[in-house]
Structure 1
Amino acid sequence: MRIENSFIPVQGVGDATERRLWENGITHWDEFDGSVVGDTLADRIERFIDEGRTHLERGNISPFASQLPAASRWRLYENVREQTCFLDIETTGLDATCNDVTTVSLHQGGETTTFVNGRDLTSDRLAAELSDASLLVTFNGARFDVPFLETCYDLEVGVPHLDLMYACKKVGLDGGLKSIERDLGIERDMPDISGRDAVRLWHEYERGDDAALETLVTYNRADTKNMQPLLETVTDRLHEEVFEAACAEQSQ
Structure 2
Amino acid sequence: MLCHTFCHIPGIGLKTEQKLWEAGITTWDEWRDPSPVRLSAIIRTDAARIIAKSQVALTGDPAFFTGNLASTEPWRIFSHFREKTVYLDIETTGLDDGAEVTAIALYDGREIFTYVNGINLEDFVDDILRYQVIVTYNGKSFDIPFLERYFRIRLDHAQIDLRHVLARLGFKGGLKGCEKQLGMHRGTLDGVDGYFAVLLWNRYCTHNDSQALETLVAYNVEDTVNLERLMVEAYNRNISATPFSENLLLPYPEPPANPYQADYDCVARIKRSLGSWHS
TM-score, with length taken from structure 2 = 0.82
Map of 1:14-33 to 2, 5 A cutoff? 14-33=13-32
Cross-structure match for 2:120:
120
Moved over 4 A (4+): none
Map of 1:236-251 to 2, 5 A cutoff? 236-241=236-241, 243-244=242-243
Give the distance between the partners of 1:163 and 1:210, measured in 2 at CA.
32
Cross-structure match for 2:169:
171
Q: What is the CA-CA distance between 1:42 and the residue it aligns to?
A: 2.5
Q: Given that residues 239 and 245 in structure 2 are in contact (C-alpha distance below 8 angstroms), is that contact kept between their aligned partners in structure 1?
A: no
Secondary structure, aligned partner of 2:83: helix
Structure (1/2) with the larger helix percentage: 1
Cross-structure match for 2:49:
47
Cross-structure match for 1:193:
192
Q: What is the CA-CA distance between 1:246 and the residue it aligns to?
A: 11
Cross-structure match for 2:255:
none
Cross-structure match for 1:78:
79
Q: Percent identity?
A: 36
Cross-structure match for 2:141:
143
Secondary structure, aligned partner of 1:88: strand
Q: Which runs of 5+ in 1 are unaligned?
A: 248-252
Q: What is the CA-CA distance between 1:22 and the residue it aligns to?
A: 1.1
Q: Given that residues 202 and 216 in structure 1 are in contact (C-alpha distance below 8 angstroms), is that contact kept between their aligned partners in structure 2?
A: yes
Q: Which runs of 5+ in 2 are unaligned?
A: 247-279
Map of 1:194-213 to 2, 5 A cutoff? 194-207=193-206, 208-213=208-213
Cα distance per residue 1:38-74 (max 9 Å; x no partner): 44433321221112111213x1111111111111111
Amino acid at match of 2:56: T
Give the distance between the partners of 1:107 and 1:126, measured in 2 at CA.
12
Secondary structure, aligned partner of 1:226: helix
Q: What is the CA-CA distance between 1:101 and the residue it aligns to?
A: 0.8
Give the distance between the partners of 1:246 and 1:178, measured in 2 at CA.
28
Amino acid at match of 2:176: K
Give the distance between the partners of 2:204 and 2:125, measured in 1 at CA.
26
